[in-house]
Amino acid sequence: MKRLETTCGYCGCGCGIYVNVADDGTLLGITPSYNHVVSQGKLCSKGWHGFGFVRDSRRLVNPLVRNEDGSFRETTWEDAYDRVVAGFKAAMTGEDNTESIGMLSSARCTNEENFLMAKFARKALRTSSIDHCARL
């Protein structure tokens, strides 16, 4: 068994947790971090139990694209990327796409990911229309 320290991914408290993982990768449970500056060894119900969705059978495990009848089918990353890039390029109107392409990012993602999203919007898509759920 491994015990890895990380930060709970739910609310803004940012509690310290250890995730207990079996050698075969099975998630066994959470141990609170007793020295953590915020949580001091305590957790709420989401902190204790909130990891249970990770291997839910409904997780998306491959990219999806639409069939002509409107249903989804699984595809490869390469195919999905080609379609994404083509779709964005088709929506580009010129030098700046602030009115034609929008991006919504997430307060669920890391700082590094949000930074890349800001860069992706403004540099790759050339749009300044990027927002996220802190507006709500």
Partner 1 sequence: MTNTIEEIGDADLIFVIGSNTTEQHPLVATRIFEALDKGAKLYVADPRRIRLTDFAHGYAPIEPGTNLAMINAMIHVIIEEGLQDQKFIDERTNSYDIMKASVADCTPEWAEPITKVPAETIRDFARTYATSDKAMILYTMGVTQHVTATRSICALANLAMLTGHVGRPSTGINPLRGQNNVQGSGDMATLPDYLPGYQRPEWPTTWERFSKAWGDFSCLRGKVMSEMFDLIDEGKMKAMYIVGENPVLSDPDQNHTIHALKKLPFLVVQDLFLTETAEYADIVLPASSWLEKDGTYTNTERRVQLIRKVIEPVGNSKPDWIILNELMQRMGLDVDYKSTSEIMDEINLLVPTYAGITHERIQEVGIQWPCPDKNHPGTPILHVGQFRRQGGKGLFTINNFEREGERTSEEFPFIMTTGRVTHQYHTGTMTRKVWTLHREYPHGFVEINVKDAEALGIKEHQMVRVTSARGSITAMAAITDRINEKTIFMPFHFAESPVNRLTGQHLDPLIKIPELKVTAVRIEVEK
Q: Which of residues 46-65 bind partner 1 (CB under 8 A)?
A: 46-47, 49-56, 58-65
Is 131 a residue that touches partner 1 (CB under 8 A)? yes
Q: Do the Cβ atoms of 57 and 30 come closer than 8 Å?
A: no
Is 8 a residue that touches partner 1 (CB under 8 A)? yes
Is 31 a residue that touches partner 1 (CB under 8 A)? no
Considering only 1, 23, 37, 68, the residue that binds partner 1 (CB under 8 A) is 37
Q: Do the Cβ atoms of 3 and 19 come closer than 8 Å?
A: yes
CB of 29 to partner 1, least distance (A): 11
- What's CA 91's distance to the chain center, in Å? 24
Site for partner 1, residues 103 to 122, rule: CB under 8 A: 103-122
Considering only 1, 6, 31, 94, the residue that binds partner 1 (CB under 8 A) is 6
CB of 82 to partner 1, least distance (A): 8
Q: Do the Cβ atoms of 108 and 115 come closer than 8 Å?
A: no
Q: How far apart are CA 129 and CA 107, in angstroms?
A: 16
